[in-house]
Structure 1
Amino acid sequence: MGILDGKRILVTGVLTDSSIAFHVARMAQEQGATVVLTGFGRMSLVERVAKRLPETPPVLELDVTDDAQLDDLAERVSAHVDGIDGIVHSIGFTPQEALGGNFLNTQWQDVATAMHISTFSLKSLTTALTPLMKDGGSVVALDFDNSVTYPVYDWMGVAKSALASTARYLARYVGEQDIRVNLVSAGPLNTMAARSISGFEQLSERWPERAPLGWDVDDPTPAAKAVVALLSDWFPATTGETVHVDGGFHSTGA
């Protein structure tokens, strides 16, 4: 019997088997959950990766900037499960023009895209599925430490700061429905999303040296375990929180 036994979990952002979201989906199934995935853009790739999970879950298309897809999301999910107990928000995108040291030259339309997809989507995804969370539940979003600046991360760092604030406000307003909202702030990982950031190696090369526990950029398992724990009933009174899974990097100075 696992800690998610009988839970119904929707996981976004599974694109490759190196992603945190993939490992969350795998562990959730291993811990007894029924999993539904969403994907965007490269649906055939998501469906192919889904087959690498212990049990092949249904895969639904979801563009979080498309109101029509959000409006019928609960109905589409209901075709596979009779409710939702947990949501994993693993969605983020920033145009290249808003990354890589181009902070001062970035135009608003690129910032707006980053904020819409990476930040506002936490609210829109949660509210779209709230009707299916009649017995409460847990929402967990993947974050990256935004208490300081990092080279090349630029407007994605701003979007992540806004994500943290969004999670706190969302926790405030859905708490009365017994829905918890928390963040897992993982250290840099060698994922497809990370590799798309020009200069990613600048973010990750010193992380293992400064983190008191060390850090493996090729191992998403610690972050995935934290997400699964927060999806479970083991944190019944925790909401609006950020759990750092970064080897302790965030706690150290120069």
Structure 2
Amino acid sequence: MKQIITIVFLCISFAVFGQKKIHVFVALCDNVNQGIVPVPKSLGNGQSPRTNLYWGALYGMKTHFKRSKDWEFVKTLPSNNPKILERIVFKHKTSNTYLLADAYDGKYIKQTTIDFLQASSGSNPTEITLNTKKLSFGGNSDLVAYIGHDGLMEFSLDTKFSPKNTKKRDAIILACISKSYFKPYLRQTGANPLVWSTGLMSPEAYTLKWAIDGWILNESDAEIRERAAKAYHKYQKCGMRGARGLLVTGY
């Protein structure tokens, strides 16, 4: 009996303590409401996740991860937040890692940025239920990521972001010149900048996917950043020197 109890305890412990959670905040590309170089109308419709450059297009968050052999699409969840047009969940196929991705209406890019930074600080836990399993994302995530236009080029934030606990959270920010613009705010949150950019970039989902591959394997920050650079070079054909200069880690 003691042996059975021990086995059950070990299984439960692995399920809880071996679990990793990722929350991705996507500001849908929006020709009308964002200060971007316009893209084709369907790709730049910030109110249409299905066709959006950063969500439903070939290298958008939803499509790219659904096509990946490493991730299983679990389900689409209802969103009680009118600013979030679509919410989806993925499960990594070979690890106990769950990913929650939110597609924000492009005209609410400022709120997307705030929500991402609050999650980076440990605020605003987001509870979801998958069958009978309850998972908490938002500020309870282990890794948070932002994908989209760098709205901080057009606006500043009055909100203060302070760490809510001592938990180590990693952050990936795929947006143009994100290190310069996000740095003052991310420092406040206490999060670790795992990958962000020094220049103009295309924040498509392959860079995030390759970085997460290394993160799941508990690779070093430098190794994860190298994966991100390799992904960017593979898809953008920019050369590894350029990719390494663009995508960096740490402050």
TM-score interval for Structure 1 and Structure 2 normalised by the shorter chain: 0.3 to 0.5
User: If the length of structure 2 is used for normalisation, what is the TM-score?
Assistant: 0.43
Relative contact order (alpha carbons < 8 A, sep ≥ 6): 1 or 2 greater?
A: 1
**Quick check: which one's helix share is greater?**
1
**Quick check: which one's strand share is greater?**
2
User: If the length of structure 1 is used for normalisation, what is the TM-score?
Assistant: 0.42
